[in-house]
Structure 1
């Protein structure tokens, strides 16, 4: 049986997105990240700023994956809560605006093969941060290390 190569997508870092006390590393993920419009990013950022999770008042670090899936988006908002677990909220823009993806089920989808490349990178650098003195310089080192490339 001949294997058919699965298509690749590309991750592109977009810098730090700050919401109150929470700092997120921002990633665009798509077949071509240039197809993600600045308006779509703006809408996604407003969604995070107004989220029920209230990132405004949490002193936290994490990352966002703005994943273009066809013509729609999944918006994965991940924080570490200063521990070794990754916390996640997932939004989608199925109605034309970003809204929470209600995943109230027993067995949930987590990360797809493309998202896992970014998540793996982030987990490795977060582990490094956890083993550091967790001083401001260590925080900055984590925040300044991005993954970019094919996944």
Structure 2
């Protein structure tokens, strides 16, 4: 049976998005950072007219260093990536993802509002919750493909360097 044959005849009740106009953002790679015993690629995501500021990036890196120094975030020699996403004028997500158990992506989410002095753990209630937005998925999709290439490699130092250098830059 074709999956399209199982669809309802009327789709007017599904996927309706009111009051939102989508707009472009860019993904900009940064330098890899050591964190909690791991090594993470770095991505900033923002609108071109309002990029992530150097101050916010530095604050996020200091926060990440403090989280790992205290052991609240332990990356145990893992590889992964960070997404620092500027959402509007005064809100930032700091998404820390690492590869565990050979082929799983694990994530810790932090956020910062304009009135907060620093980032803090971001939690959502309930079993069905947000993961990544469409802009963040540009970096996540690239990282999935890059890590699959790494898994198919010899996984030696040269392969790790290739993985760490393989970064996405462009439209999100």
TM-score by length of 1: 0.89
What residue is the counterpart of 2:120 in the other structure? Answer: 99
> Any conservation in 2 of the 1:80–1:87 contact (CA below 8 Å)?
yes
Give the 3-state SS of the residue equivalent to 1:97 in structure 2: coil
RMSD over aligned CA atoms reads 1.8
Alignment of 1:18-37 (within 5 A): 18-32=34-48, 35-37=51-53
What per-residue deviation string (whole Å, max 9, x for no partner) do you get for residues 45-73 of structure 1? 12212221234xx1111000000001210
Unaligned stretches of 5+ in structure 1? Answer: none
Q: How far apart, in 2, do the equivalents of 1:106 and 1:32 lie?
A: 34
Taking the aligned partners of 1:90 and 1:97, their CA distance within structure 2 comes to: 14
TM-aligned CA deviation for residue 34 of structure 1: 6.2
State which of 56, 61, 68 in structure 1 corresponds to 2:86: 68
Aligned residues of 1:12 and 1:33 also touching (Cα < 8 A): no
Moved over 4 A (4+): none
Unaligned runs of 5+ in 2: 1-19
Q: Secondary structure at the match of 2:110?
A: strand
TM-score after normalising by structure 2: 0.79
Higher alpha-carbon Rg: 2
Partner residue in 1 for 2:57: 41
SS at match of 1:128: helix
